[in-house]
Amino acid sequence: MTTDMWLALGILVAAIILFITEWLRVDVVAIGVMVALMLSGLVSSGEAISGFSNPAVLTIAALFVVGGAVMQTGVAAAIGQRILLIAGSNPVRLTIVIMLAVALLSSVMSDTGTVAVLLPAIVSLAASAKISNSKLLIPLAYGSLLGGSTTLIGTPPNIIVSDLLREQGLEPFRFFDYTPVGVSLVVAGVLFMVLVGRNLLPDHKPKHDVQRIETPEELVAIYQLPENLFRLRVLHNSNLVGKTAAEARLRQDFGLTIVNILRSKQPKKSSGVLPEQIGGDNNNQKSADYDSIIPTAETIFKEGDILIAKGETSYIGHTAAFWKLGVQPAHLDEDAGQPVEQALISMEAGVAEILLPPRSSLLGQTLVESKFGSVYGLTVLGITRPGSDDPLNLKETSLQFGDTLLVQGPWKNILSLKDRPRDFVVMGELEDVMGPPARTKAPIAMVILGAMLLLLVMDVLPLVTASMLAGLAMILTRCVTIDQAYDAVDWKSIVLIAGMLPMSIALERVGLVNLVASGLTDSLGLMGPTLVLGGIFFLTSLFTQVISNTATTVLIAPIAFAAAAQLDVSPYAFMMGVAVAASMAFASPVASPANTLVMGAGNYRFVDYIKVGVPMIVITLIVSMFVLPLVFPF
Predicted local confidence at residue 344, as pLDDT: 61
Residue 452 near residue 153 (C-beta atoms within 8 A): no
Gap between the Cα atoms of 533 and 536, Å rounded: 5
Q: Among residues of the chain, what percentage have pLDDT more than 70?
A: 84
Grade residue 489 by pLDDT with cuts at 50, 70 and 90: confident
Q: Point out which residues pair with 451 in neighbouring strands.
A: none
What mean pLDDT comes out for the span 583-594?
82
- Say yes or no to pLDDT of 624 above 90: yes
Helix (H, G, I), strand (E, B) or coil at 479: coil
Q: List the end-to-end C-alpha distance of the chain, in Å, as a whole number.
A: 31
Pick the range with the lowest mean pLDDT from 90-104, 266-280, 384-398.
266-280
What was the pLDDT predicted at 487? 81
Q: How far apart are CA 455 and CA 433, in angstroms?
A: 40
Q: What average pLDDT score do residues 205-220 get? A: 51
Quick: pLDDT tens for 169-186. 899 999 899 999 999 999
User: What is residue 223's predicted lDDT score, i.e. its pLDDT?
Assistant: 61
Describe the crossing of helices 529-543 and 606-631 by its angle, rounded to 10 degrees.
150
What integer pLDDT is reported at residue 230 of this predicted model? 79
**Mean local confidence (pLDDT), 123-134:** 79
Lowest mean pLDDT among 204-218, 379-393, 425-439, 578-592: 204-218
Q: What is the CA radius of gyration of the chain?
A: 28
Q: Give the residue among 484, 482, 458, 463 at the shortest CA–CA distance from 472.
A: 482
pLDDT number for residue 388: 67
CA 163 to mean position of chain CA atoms: 27
pLDDT at residue 215, as a whole number: 58
Percent of the chain with pLDDT over 90: 22
Provide the phi-psi class of 267: left if phi over 0, else alpha when psi is between -120 and 50, else beta: beta
When pLDDT is averaged across residues 374-401 and rounded to a whole number, the result is 78
Query: Left, alpha or beta for 324 (phi > 0: left; psi -120 to 50: alpha)?
Result: left
Rounded Cα distance between 308 and 328, Å, is 10
Burial status of residue 53 (CB atoms within 10 A of its CB: 0-12, 13-18, 19 or more) = exposed
Domains of the chain: 3-27+54-205+455-631 (no CATH), 216-344 (3.30.70.1450), 349-427 (3.30.70.1450)
Task: Answer yes or no: pTM beyond 0.85.
Answer: no
Q: What are phi and psi of 205, to 5 degrees?
A: -115, 95
Q: Output the pLDDT for position 625.
A: 92
520-537: pLDDT as tens digits: 787 777 778 889 899 999
List the single range of 309-323, 326-340, 469-483 with lowest mean pLDDT.
Answer: 326-340
CA angle 253, 318, 229 (to 5 degrees): 85
Which band of pLDDT confidence, cut at 50, 70 and 90, is reported for residue 147?
very high
pLDDT tier for residue 465 given thresholds of 50, 70 and 90: very high
> Of 64-78, 285-299, 619-633, which gets the smallest average pLDDT?
285-299
Give the list of residues 6+ apart from residue 148 with CB closer than 8 angstroms, or none.
Answer: 106, 107, 111, 154, 155, 158, 182, 583
450-463 average pLDDT score? 89
pLDDT of residue 436: 45
Q: Is the pLDDT of residue 328 over 80?
A: no
Question: In whole angstroms, what is the distance from residue 292 CA to residue 301 CA?
Answer: 13
Count of alpha carbons within 13 angstroms of residue 327, beta-carbon side: 17
Residue pLDDT, tens place only, 305-317: 888 887 777 677 7
* Per-residue confidence (pLDDT) for residue 282, from 0 to 100: 40
H helical segments located in 458-605:
463-476, 482-488, 491-510, 512-524, 529-543, 549-567, 572-582, 593-602
Which residue from 17, 35, 38 is spatially nearest to 26, judged by alpha carbons? 17
pLDDT of 134 > 90? The answer is: no
pLDDT at 224: 55
Mean pLDDT lowest among 58-62, 187-191, 222-226, 628-632: 222-226
Q: 368 versus 277: which is more confidently predicted?
A: 368
- pLDDT of 278 reads 34
Instruction: Output the average pLDDT for the chain.
Output: 81
Virtual torsion, Cα 144, 150, 152, 154, nearest 10 deg: -10
